[in-house]
Structure 1
Amino acid sequence: MTNPAPDTITVDADRLWRSLMDLAEIGAYDDERTGLRGVNRLALTDADAAGRRQVIAWMEDAGLAVRVDRMGNIYGRREGTDPTAAPVLTGSHIDSVATAGAFDGCLGVLGGIEVVRTLDERGIVTRRPIEVGVFTEEEGVRFGTDMLGSAVAAGRLTLGYAHGLTDRDGRTLGDELARTGFDGPADVRLDPPYAYVECHIEQGPVLAENGVGIGVVTGVQGISWQEITVHGRAAHAGTTPTRLRADAGLAAAEIIVRLRAMVDSGEYGELRATVGHLTVHPDLTNIVPARAELTVDLRNPDDAAMARAEEDLSAFLRELEDARPGLTLSTRRMAGTAYVPFDETVQKVIAGAADDHGLAHISLLSGAGHDAQEIAALCPTAMIFVRGEHDGISHNPREYSTPEACARGVDVLATTLLRLADQD
């Protein structure tokens, strides 16, 4: 690329990579299934708290003024020349699932810090402040609600609701914030930023299939999470006739098969359905299950089709209960978000930055949920996707994006943030 625009900047790729690898050692474990080093840093565990402290140290070393709010969300602020101007916000999360890789969420946080380092080194001053955010419990795997910190910051969920959520051991989020020292004093409601841009690995194969390294994200599809509990009746596996059983495990299996049939029918658009958690009780070889618990994750870019799928699943649960004497079913809503379109103007700034860096890019919809979908309620928002390897696998120790791909994505982030931060 020749004669790049003066506001086209590149970051230190080696330093960015070292940050990613150093953070990955916090909560690291050896995964027996893959033989690889994985990350287990569930929200507000000791490992997550250690990771947070490391990120805060990096923020402070980069000259950022750090604040922590009552949800444990962390913000590092680099001032601009106009102290009254709304900031440009970037960031993501560092909490993980139990079998994670090094990049999900972390690239957006550490990439934001790397942008600040680069601006400082080049003596670049922006009109607007730039802030780097770290949101609490984005994954939702510990306290059952994803994008939790950003949802409270944006006002979709209340602080009281979030603080009262419990993990499977009965620990509340509020108590865990206090235990880890991240029950900060700052107001949790975020003042609307000027814009929000999040850099994230794609977590899918689309960029690789198209032979490009950068995705300009147009929005996030709708997400529905619920927990279904089936109550049956325990019985001896050898002495109880099949016709007299109220088998909670069988009912759970029928729900799973029904979900797949709904997806395959094509009646619900691009519906995706996953049962990611399933347990039966008492979980013994020779006892008919008395209770089954399962989670249902539905995704759909069409809100109307999603609503039909939810209604038809509810109808099937009622039919199942009526058809199986001795069974009762209950449901609990865990999370639900509608399709969120991203701001076209911010998308154009991202695309222009990629062009000026000489990077091929495509536009695509996100199949995964992100903090950006919550912050989009406050300000113009869009995302940058970075290509992953191994078919874009994520939530797995095989998750991988090359040092070059990560650096290119953060180059686009840096140029985008600089251009937005200099706007009137």
Structure 2
Amino acid sequence: MKCLAPLVLVLAAMELVAFAQNAPYDNPPAVAAPYFRVRYAASSQPGELIYPVAYTVWTPPGVPTLRGVIVHQHGCGEGSCKSGQTGAFDLHWQALAQKHQCALLSPAYEQPAGTDCQMWCDPRNGSDRAFQKALVDLGKQSGHPELAEVPWALWGHSGGGHWAGGMLMLHPDRVAAAWLRSGVPLFEAVEGRNIQPHTLPEAALTVPTMCNFGTKEGYTDKESRFKGVWPSNETFFRTMRGRGALLGIAIDPLTSHECGNSRYLAIPWMDACLSQRLPEEDGQPIRPMPQQSAMLAPLPVEEAAFTAAVPAGQYEGDLATSIWLPNEAVATAWKQFVTDSNVADVTPPPAPTNVQLVGDELTWQAAADLESGIAQFIIERDGKTVATVPDKPKNPFGRPLFQGLQYSDTPAVPLARMRWTVDKLEPGQKNPYRVRAKNTAGLVSP
């Protein structure tokens, strides 16, 4: 019987792989330009990815040459993995990508329930190789072969934070910035867990990085399911910052493992980093982050309140435990975020475009507000509000959004559509409808 054990394990693994190619991953949103997708089957070869994976990318219309790719990486487990299928459709992150002429890419690892997340969220287990292959193949599909060579801006949640941090350790020269939500790479082995330590390269210290997690993940709540997040983040922070890394910490004061309102800090932080780091011309290396505008704040001791950041040249505390922030504007948003997560916005969103009425269907297009996204649309007839779309925007994890949000901070399914059914007009009657956008700060567009 003993000789049959390896065969049984192999058959069990094959059954899991077969399952992973079906439900719940078998119905992703359809793609058509400017969206593109590739999918790779699971591999049984040593060092290659043992789970199937699909990569969806959005490329900004009208951009002849991409300057970078923003990667939105989900976390572990079936629910989070499935939520990765909609990451590239996120209007808010698309606004950031459009501004910087970047693609927006979201992987969806088809991890079966009950299997080891480390087999994809440690990039050394094949996901690094699959990711880079996807960049080549998606570059060919989209007509942007430069996608295989441009810098990466990495955002990751939970196991996705572990993946993004791991990619930073492996490829620091390719990473323009990294935002690690509730997950970091480890520099020490973990007893009883299939986690191998990473080596910290000197080049990783020059990459702007942010550790972001919820206060209930072991910071104030020491008994929660996610109580180990703060200790691992603290170790990562002290190791990195002690060697001078450009590293910050932003503790969400309201949440546990869910992402909450973190995008309202993550996007302006990423905006500031990409503005300074992306090469000015094709083929050039990533630019170094300038330090003359940096701001520093002390890491709180024993859960004390965060204090405001000051210019780096005026900071009198211990640099090894200081929180690094790229500039004053981000430092202001950071202080608001760590206080109540309510990052302010004083600019209205862009007005919707291409408003069309065909029969009884009103449609439009809209770009998201870079600072605050889109909460809903206001439909007017003859100057009076007749409807809002959606009627009551929802988001169980933070500010209500037009697209809603899933646990790994990606749009809800089915994807929200910009359309509304109206009363049919009389033949020859002029379209009396107008549409306004409302952002999550409550500001309304022209």
TM over 0.5: no
| TM, length-normalised to structure 1 | 0.33
Flag the structure with more relative contact order, 1 or 2, with Cα contacts below 8 A and sequence separation at least 6.
Answer: 1
Q: Which has the higher helix share?
A: 1
| TM, length-normalised to structure 2 | 0.31
